């Protein structure tokens, strides 16, 4: 069975995603759309598509499209996802799903009322090593879960993409990369009972660095950190009363290795995971196709309620560290 994909916005991540569609059986790159026809054509030179379009409106007007991958900056996910849904098009929307919980709720309410498929492209949720970690925890290898420590840091190289620090484009460490440690902790430990957070602002006022603590009434905790000022190990520890899983490096990517420390001094095991060619975006794309074939309007694995919970936590973190975007006022 063929699935006709459209790509909305021809930036950096769209290139990786388009490249990974080659690893998805039945996936057809049917249309690519940019706000500039020249950029769409340049994209299509590398990733050929049946339709090369110079506007997002032309994309949503196409009759024979099964799903649109929204790859604009997070500031525009709300507008672009609503555009797609209002034209009855299924959507896989990049992370961060929106700027805030209110926007996310509006996007999800529209998808649910129109019964059109929508999913956040939280690709890590679909990666084999992450599934393996969940299995190991479910098998009881960590004993009683106690916490997660995770960090994500990179120093952007020149020329720095404007979206990384521009408040109008949802810039800042939390929504761009901090979302991964937050996702890891919340998906393993649950929604935190209490959050403490602080930030170091960049010159533009958005968070260049953010430090976050999650506290749970059941005795768990998480320490999470993200920075756009330095290249960090970007690793993670998930620990319990019987052992620890170390994810290195980078913990959110398919290249991550899993080390299991059973709690005996100097003892550790490297846990094998099947590897595939590609960047790793093929796993979420396959899942979207399966959902569409089965007539689902939401993912049973990364549901829209998961996305809402994640957005709510990101809002709580921003409140704690005093970071507001313009759209928070509406
Ligand atoms: N899942 C992942 O691993 C991953 C990795 C990186 C980024 N992302 C997410 O993907 C999204 C895009 O990131 P990116 O790195 O691809 O960004 P990018 O290279 O800057 O591309 C974003 C594209 O969005 C379009 N766009 C529409 N309105 C825009 C505006 N007002 N300003 C700037 N661009 C605008 C442009 O495409 P056209 O010119 O073609 O219209 C632009 O090329 C972000 O939400 C980011 O968080 C995810």
In testing the pocket of ligand 1, which one of 32, 71, 251 has its CB within 8 Å of the most ligand atoms?
Answer: 71
Residue 18 has phi, psi (to 5 degrees) of: -60, -40
Q: Taking all residues of the chain, what is their mean pLDDT, rounded to a whole number?
A: 97
pLDDT of residue 77: 98
Total residues found in the chain within this entry: 330
In testing the pocket of ligand 1, which one of 19, 45, 72, 206 has its CB within 8 Å of the most ligand atoms?
Answer: 72
Q: Mean pLDDT over residues 51-62, rounded? A: 98
Percent of the chain at pLDDT > 90 equals: 95
- Contact 61 CB / ligand 1 (< 6 Å): no
Residue 325 has phi, psi (to 5 degrees) of: -105, 160
pLDDT of residue 228: 98
pLDDT of 1 > 90? The answer is no
Report the nearest atom of ligand 1 relative to the CA of 121. 1
**CA 73 to ligand 1 centroid distance, Å:** 4
Q: Mean pLDDT over residues 283-305, rounded? A: 98
- Contact 16 CB / ligand 1 (< 6 Å): no
Q: Mean pLDDT over residues 54-81, rounded? A: 98
Q: How far apart are CA 104 and CA 106, in angstroms?
A: 5
pLDDT of residue 263: 81
Instruction: Sketch out the chain's domains with CATH numbers.
Output: 3-124 (3.40.50.720), 128-279 (3.30.360.10)
Q: Mean pLDDT over residues 86-111, rounded? A: 98
Tens-digit pLDDT profile for residues 74-91: 999 999 999 999 999 999
pLDDT of residue 17: 98
**CA 262 to ligand 1 centroid distance, Å:** 41
Beta strands in 136-273 (DSSP E): 145-153, 194-201, 207-215, 221-227, 236-240, 244-248, 257-261, 269-271
Q: How far apart are CA 76 and CA 107, in angstroms?
A: 12
pLDDT of residue 274: 84
pLDDT of residue 270: 86
Q: Mean pLDDT over residues 113-136, rounded? A: 97
pLDDT of 276 > 80? The answer is yes
Bridge-based pairing state of the strands 269-271 and 257-261: antiparallel
Confidence band for 330, pLDDT divided at 50, 70 and 90: confident
Q: Mean pLDDT over residues 278-288, rounded? A: 98
- Contact 246 CB / ligand 1 (< 6 Å): no
**CA 164 to ligand 1 centroid distance, Å:** 10
pLDDT of residue 244: 96
| CA-nearest residue, atom 24 of ligand 1 | 72
Distances (CA, A) of 310 to 79, 158, 191: 20, 31, 8
Q: Mean pLDDT over residues 23-38, rounded? A: 98
- The catalytic residues are 95
| CA-nearest residue, atom 27 of ligand 1 | 72
- Contact 78 CB / ligand 1 (< 6 Å): no
**Residue with structure tokens 């769209």?**
14
Tens-digit pLDDT profile for residues 172-211: 999 999 999 999 999 999 999 999 999 999 999 999 999 9
pLDDT of 96 > 80? The answer is yes
**CA 48 to ligand 1 centroid distance, Å:** 19
């Amino acid at each position: 069975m063929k699935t006709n994909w459209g790509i909305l916005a021809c930036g950096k991540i769209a290139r990786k995603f388009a490249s990974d569609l080659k690893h998805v059986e039945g996936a057809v790159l049917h249309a690519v759309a940019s706000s500039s026809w020249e950029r769409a054509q340049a994209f299509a030179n590398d990733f050929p598509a049946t339709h090369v379009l110079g506007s997002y409106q032309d994309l949503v007007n196409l009759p024979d499209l099964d799903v649109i991958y929204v790859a604009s900056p997070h500031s525009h996910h709300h507008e672009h996802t609503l555009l797609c849904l209002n034209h009855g098009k299924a959507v896989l929307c990049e992370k961060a799903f929106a700027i805030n919980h209110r926007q996310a709720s509006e996007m999800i309410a529209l998808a649910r009322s129109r019964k059109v498929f929508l999913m956040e492209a939280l690709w890590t949720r679909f990666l084999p090593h992450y599934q393996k970690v969940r299995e190991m925890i479910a098998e009881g290898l960590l004993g009683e879960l106690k916490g997660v420590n995770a960090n994500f840091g990179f120093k952007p190289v020149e020329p720095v993409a404007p979206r990384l620090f521009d408040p109008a484009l949802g810039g800042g460490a939390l929504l761009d990369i901090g979302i991964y440690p937050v996702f890891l902790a919340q998906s393993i430990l649950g929604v935190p009972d209490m959050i403490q957070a602080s930030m170091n602002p960049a010159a533009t006022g958005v968070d260049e660095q953010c430090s976050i603590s999650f506290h749970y009434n059941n005795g768990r905790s998480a320490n999470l950190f993200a920075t756009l000022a330095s290249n960090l190990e970007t690793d993670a520890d998930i620990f319990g009363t019987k052992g620890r899983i170390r994810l290195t490096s980078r913990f959110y990517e398919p290249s991550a290795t899993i080390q299991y420390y059973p709690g005996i001094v100097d003892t550790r095991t490297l846990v094998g995971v099947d590897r595939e060619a590609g960047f790793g975006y093929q796993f979420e794309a396959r899942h979207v196709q399966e959902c569409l074939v089965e007539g689902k309007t939401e993912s049973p694995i990364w549901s829209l309620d998961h996305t809402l919970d994640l957005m709510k936590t990101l809002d709580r973190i921003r409140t704690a560290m005093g970071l507001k975007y313009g759209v928070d006022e509406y």
